[in-house]
Amino acid sequence: MARSEKGHFLIIGGGFAGLATAIELKRKGFSAEVFETAPELSLIGDVIQIGSSATRIISKWGDTLKGVTEYSSRPKTMSIYNSAGELVFDSPILADYDGFPILFSNRSGVQKCFYEYALSIGVTVHLNTRVTEYFENDECAGITIGSKEFKGDAIIACDGIHSYGRRYVTGINQIAQTSGFSVYRSWFPLERLSHDPLTKHFTSSTEEELIMWVGRDTHTNLLVLPKPQGAVVFVTHPDTDNEASESWSRKGSMEDMMKNVEGWDPICRAAVAAVPQEVLIDWKLLWRDPTRKWVSDKGRVVLVGDSAHPHLPTSGTGGVQAIEDAATLVAVLDSLGKEKIPLAFRVFQKLRYERTSLTQRMGWETRHRWHKTDWEAVAKDPAIMKMPQPTWIYGHDAEKYAYDRTAEAAESVEKGTAFQSTNIPEGHVHEDWTVEMMLALEQDEVQKNFYKVANV
């Protein structure tokens, strides 16, 4: 494989973060090879919302956005009901922002598009390769796999929530923590909804429908997709066991899932009952404290995506932040050059830390709004229940922000001068938080100034 004089990078993990980083590197004249544990690209997966700040980036990757759009739907509203089946709010969903679409996409379809594009532009991908040995010195970094060594100018660890890279960088061997919740996930043929008169009408929908029912400590989503004739059902519920695992093969129990919606709107129950047992999985929602250490001591290993900042699904933006990370990191490397990789990695963290710490927290806050709803406040303003689609996330141009602010962030890193993030809500003052703090707040009802992220 040809190595670029501009810099050669070893990327650990071939999820959204890893593939996006590899593509951005190639696009800007660097070379990259990706090492991924999975023996092949998984064809399982349900739905992921890809916001406009990510489609803005993907739009620069040849025809990839066109391919992703073919695996996507674009519901116009999210209809929010209480558990009794009373409509709370029809929340409009933006179709696009600055012309960049907001997509509800099939997860494996998106990954396939990224993967095929990465291969087409010359990224090398080593599948079936688990990486757990890194080394680095002042000039380079590398990995060892069995008796083989691979070297590059640096390592970019995109290995997700159970990241080995995070352990290497922080020196702390801590497993991901439970968030107290799990989600039953399923994707199945739409025709299944025709078996019950209460859900039969969904099968003749000509447009995508996105419905959510919210109740105490639980919420249920139904996505109806006429084009691929599919349905998605999620039931987010309190997690009752302490085993920390996340896997597409962790089977869910229909009986237990139904218990979570006992006494709920019969339409919701009928949709949940339509899930075929064989596709049902129970996915533990794990997360980690935001860490202030994304870069190794020698400066040649950096964390990107969920390895740096795992998100809960209720933020709707974990994958998007991984793609923004990729565009940011590569723009900074492009600006500072190969000679300044350790500085570039620290600048990358400076540009991203406060934003992603807040989007991580937003996932908890949104869930709290739905699970411990302040119904008096909702009676006055039902819009507080909507899935946040704020301009500071959806309107962000991560690549431009990085080019515009790298010099200032570099000065801040080198001289310790102040740096004011402008990719967070205007006027927001950053506060560090931990998972423990959020879990302690979990049972609290809403009080004044409870939420740090406005729901607009």
Among 101, 318, 342, 388, binds ligand FAD (CB under 6 A): 318
CB of 158 to ligand FAD, least distance (A): 5
Centre a 10 Å sphere on the Cβ of residue 171 and count the other Cβ atoms it contains: 10
**Binding mask 19-58 vs ligand FAD (x if CB under 6 A, - otherwise)?**
----------------xxxx---------xx---------
- Does position 16 interact with ligand FAD (CB under 6 A)? The reply is yes
Q: 233 or 413, CB closer to ligand FAD?
A: 233
Least distance CB 387 / ligand FAD (angstroms): 9
Amino acid (one-letter) located at 323: I
Return the bridge partners of 82, or none. 214
Q: In the set 75, 160, 215, 230, which binds ligand FAD (CB under 6 A)?
A: 160
Among 166, 219, 300, 311, binds ligand FAD (CB under 6 A): 311
d(CA 456, CA 211): 19
Going by C-alpha positions, the residue among 245, 372, 273, 251 that lies closest to residue 314 is 372
- Shortest CB 141 distance to ligand FAD, Å: 15
User: By Cβ distance, which residue is nearest to ligand FAD?
Assistant: 15
Residue 73 as a binder of ligand FAD (CB under 6 A): the answer is no
Tokens of 358: 């807040």
3-state secondary structure of 66: helix
For ligand FAD (CB under 6 A), the number of binding residues is 32
Are the C-beta atoms of residues 190 and 233 closer than 8 Å to each other? no
From the list 9, 10, 13, 152, which residue makes contact with ligand FAD (rule: CB under 6 A)? 13
Does position 17 interact with ligand FAD (CB under 6 A)? The reply is yes
Identity of the residue, 40 or 426, whose beta carbon is nearer to ligand FAD in the bound complex: 40
Question: With respect to ligand FAD, which residue has the nearer C-beta, 322 or 424?
Answer: 322
Q: Which is nearer to ligand FAD, 114 or 336 (CB)?
A: 114
Which residue bears the tokens 């879990």? 439
Residue window 273-292: x/- pattern of binding to ligand FAD, with contact defined by CB under 6 A: ----------x---------
Residue window 167-206: x/- pattern of binding to ligand FAD, with contact defined by CB under 6 A:
----------------x-----------------------
Q: What are phi and psi of 100, to 5 degrees?
A: -100, 125
CA pseudo-torsion sign 290, 246, 117, 208: negative
Reference 316, options 442, 450, 212, 435; nearest CA is 212
380: left (phi over 0), alpha (psi -120 to 50) or beta: alpha
Contact between 287 and 311 (Cβ < 8 Å): yes
428 CB-near residues (< 8 Å, 6+ apart): 358, 452
319 binds ligand FAD, rule: CB under 6 A: yes
Q: How far is the CB of 120 from ligand FAD (least distance, A)?
A: 20
Q: Is 305 in the site for ligand FAD (CB under 6 A)?
A: yes
Report 87-116 residues binding ligand FAD (CB under 6 A).
Answer: none
Smallest distance, ligand FAD to C-beta of residue 37, A = 4
CB of 82 to ligand FAD, least distance (A): 23
**φ/ψ of residue 213, rounded to 5:** -110, 130
Among 59, 132, 194, 203, binds ligand FAD (CB under 6 A): 132
Comparing CB distances to ligand FAD, the nearer of 241 and 411 is 241
- Residues facing 103 on adjacent strands: 50
Question: Residue 388 is encoded by which pair of tokens?
Answer: 């946040």
Interhelix angle for 341-371 vs 398-415, to 10°?
A: 120
> Contacting ligand FAD (CB under 6 A), which of 136, 209, 306, 397?
306
> What is the identity of the amino acid at 48?
I
14 counts as binding ligand FAD under rule CB under 6 A: yes
Under rule CB under 6 A, residue 71 binds ligand FAD: no
- As measured in angstroms, the least distance from the Cβ of 199 to ligand FAD is 22
Closest approach, Cβ 183 to ligand FAD, in A, equals: 5
Binding to ligand FAD by residue 313, rule CB under 6 A? yes
User: Given the complex with ligand FAD, which of 188 and 335 has the nearer CB atom?
Assistant: 188
Handedness of CA 193, 196, 197, 199 (dihedral sign): negative
Q: Which of positions 372-391 make contact with ligand FAD (CB under 6 A)?
A: none
Residues in the chain: 456
Q: Which of 97, 100, 115, 164 binds ligand FAD (CB under 6 A)?
A: 164
**CB-based burial, 130-151: b 16+ in 10 Å, e otherwise:** ebeebbbeeebbbbeeeeeebe
Alpha helices by DSSP H, listed for 337-426, are 341-371, 375-380, 391-394, 398-415
d(CA 348, CA 302): 9
> What gap in Å lies between CA 390 and CA 312, rounded to an integer?
17
15 binds ligand FAD (CB under 6 A): yes
Residues that bind ligand FAD (CB under 6 A): 12-18, 35-38, 48-49, 130-132, 158-160, 164, 183, 283, 305-306, 311, 313, 316-320, 322
